Amino acid sequence: MDRPRIHRWLSAESYWAAGRPRTTQDAAIDASRNFGIFRTATGEQVAYARIVTDGVTFAWLCDVFVDSSVRGLGIGVALIDGVCAALEPHHLRRIMLATADAHGLYRKFGFEPLAAPERWMAKETQVTTGAA
């Protein structure tokens, strides 16, 4: 994985990780299953996603990013297809994600809004520099 590129994408170009410190991103990469798509000719990374999982029952799909130079070319579809294929043998009960703008992409892979959102809760905490 091209860590500097991933950090630049997420900290400077994403709405969900704006300003994320490099140390935080590196820790997140180290603690996750990482997926990337790379240009065949140059080896340049053009897309990234990561999974946080126990490998048995649950996974969280996050930090999905496709470089602006290749958006609209099916790279996002290929990335999510690869992630789902890699997780399929684990027979996970649930794979979760959050998105503000890519619902159509994820629906192609069976993702739907929560059936019972009232059962779910989140705790938002103050993020400190360097925290994972």
Q: Indicate yes or no: pTM above 0.85.
A: yes
Q: In whole angstroms, how far apart are CA 8 and each of 20, 38, 40, 55, 108?
A: 9, 16, 22, 28, 28
pLDDT (tens place) for every residue of the chain, 132 residues total: 999 999 999 999 999 999 999 999 999 999 999 999 999 999 999 999 999 999 999 999 999 999 999 999 999 999 999 999 999 999 999 999 999 999 999 999 999 999 999 999 999 887 655 444
Predicted local distance difference test score (pLDDT) of residue 60: 98
Structural domains in the chain, CATH included, are: 3-112 (3.40.630.30)
CA dihedral 101, 104, 108, 110 (to 10 degrees): 70
